[in-house]
Copies of this chain bind each other. A is one copy, B any other.
């Protein structure tokens, strides 16, 4: 029996995404182009250019598409030109204190429903979705000149839309995770986590299952969507311009879940 293995690969050839772009079409075009360079699929697909019904052969069933939040946000037009922003007094004060752009601070405050920490030039905020992250997810990296990019308004809805389009085009059941790079308490360094998802459960639940010696397992609910996001980051890279990774062979639950289920309610949070 072959050992349980998964393969993760970065999808190359995704162009700079613009507001209004059709991400499904962009991803499928990149998939077709990558076809000839993929060793394992190559042998099956040699021959003339694929017809639409050959799309299904472009991916294995139950492939998980991990998509960087940045291109989802760009396609959805979640871009703010800083020159259009009038900073509040609070934003100006804080920006002056830490030599920040007051317009950037203003955008962060608008995206936040709560400021967790504002210290030493770092702004940790809870977004309107409930995510705790630096700058409420507002990011100038890889943004158009003079602009910043916001998180998608509803990452689960964005994931569902892309999933349905990809499934229709590719003719195979797939999962979609929209992922972003977050810091975290207690641990140094950033990791990718899942903001939104569709087609899979964010969790694998081992409750009630037994360990090797027949005792009920203790550590029991695994955040598989966050683990998939972290795994995908390994091939996406920050400077490679690879905003989409495909994970093949992973065993996940298809019980529908939402990325927002990964947010721990504050009153249940004993880890802080």
Q: Binary interface profile of A, 253-272, with partner B (CB < 8 Å = 1, else 0)?
A: 00000000111100001111
A139 and B218 form a contact (CB under 8 A): yes
A209 to B, closest residue via Cβ: B239
A117 to B, closest residue via Cβ: B270
With A215-B141, A241-B212 known as contacts, the answer to whether A189 contacts B221 (CB < 8 A) is yes
B6 and A234 form a contact (CB under 8 A): yes
Sample (8) of A-B pairs whose CB atoms are under 8 Å apart: A4-B12, A6-B234, A116-B270, A139-B219, A185-B185, A185-B272, A188-B262, A189-B203
Which B residues are CB-close (under 8 A) to A235?
A: 4-6
Counting contact residues on chain A (CB < 8 A from B), the size range is: 35 or more
B5 and A9 form a contact (CB under 8 A): yes
Identify which of A10, A189, A210 gathers the most chain B CB atoms within 10 Å of its CB.
A189
- Check: A44 CB closer than 8 A to any chain B CB: no
- Check: A142 CB closer than 8 A to any chain B CB: yes
Which B residues are CB-close (under 8 A) to A145?
A: 213
Which B residues are CB-close (under 8 A) to A191?
A: 222-223, 226-227, 230
A114 vs chain B, min Cβ distance (A): 12
B263 and A188 form a contact (CB under 8 A): yes
Q: Binary interface profile of A, 202-234, with partner B (CB < 8 Å = 1, else 0)?
A: 110010011111010111111110111011011
